[in-house]
Amino acid sequence: MLPEEVAVNSLKELAEEDTLTWLGHSTFLLRINGKIILTDPFLTNRASPVSFVGGVTRYTPPGIKIENLPKIDMIVISHNHYDHLDFHTIDALPNKDKIHVGVPIGVGELFEEAGYKNIYELDWNESITVGDIRLEALPAAHDSGRWLVDKNKSLWASWGVSSPSGKYYFGGDTGYSPVFKEAGDKYQSFDMAILPIGAYGPNELMWMSHVTPEQAIQAGQDLNADILVAGHWGTIELSDEDHWEPPIRFLESAEKAGMDEEKAWVMKIGETRILPKKISI
């Protein structure tokens, strides 16, 4: 993990570039053409209905604190689990009247409660375009629910993000399924795919909703993605595997698949990297 001062300065120094910053777990900052997209915001101490008790506590802090984030232009949400949609985080963000929010069907109410104005609830394969950035909700193999009584009452999704700069995939949280090949066929290729690699053990319980690191590499190949980025690990303990096992297996699998070293990204929390130049057709 990078010191927060280093993380903030690095993001500022690369302000003229298209970049990706990992804040921890599935929370990334994707900067495209000067606009910043925040994915699955969870930047408080615990994934819980309340901020001070219960849920799952972080073992690494966020790469950048909420109050030190740059201005957010767009938010995308994969589903409503607490570690992917933390109400305390979205409630604390400023400029809510200007942020455009893409969510699966049934998730918009939380943003309305927090005071957001530009909320788009999308079914799979529906999209919105804001400026020159297009967000499309794509299928995923997962589930949803924040309480005992709302299991699967709202939708879950992955996201395709398209702009003149390139095409990017945000996997959020998902098990392995044909949805990756379907998205790859639909988009032809992605310049980069952010894929979950953690919370897979024991696999006999987790396989329906979480990919293994090896399956993440296969998913990236199904997507025809040039660069694969490891997400959904290194932040909170959700399953049985060792905290640092997922990235090791991810890189080993990438090597076995014949991927060049620079094509499989295991980022440090707080790290910013320049996005690949457009190769997609």
Q: What is the pLDDT of residues 94-128, one digit of tens each?
A: 999 999 999 999 999 999 999 999 999 999 999 99
Domain ranges within the chain, ordered by starting residue: 4-274
Kindly give, in sequence order, each residue whose CB lies less than 8 Å from that of residue 226, ignoring residues fewer than 6 positions away: 189, 190, 191, 192, 263, 276, 279
Question: What SS3 state is found at 129?
Answer: strand
* Percent of the chain scoring above 70 in pLDDT: 94
* Percent of the chain scoring above 90 in pLDDT: 80
pLDDT band at residue 281 under the 50/70/90 scheme? very low
Amino acid present at 35: K
pLDDT given for residue 83 in this prediction = 94
**Enclosing H/E stretch for 220:** helix 213-222
pLDDT given for residue 56 in this prediction = 85
Model-level pTM? Answer: 0.94
Residues 4-274, CATH architecture: 4-Layer Sandwich (3.60)
pLDDT band at residue 254 under the 50/70/90 scheme? very high
Amino acid present at 206: M
* Mean pLDDT in residue range 235-253: 89
Q: What is the pLDDT of residues 184-223, one digit of tens each?
A: 999 999 999 999 999 788 777 666 678 999 999 999 999 9
**Enclosing H/E stretch for 256:** helix 245-256
Q: Is residue 133 within 8 Å of 153, Cβ to Cβ?
A: no
* Mean pLDDT in residue range 164-172: 96
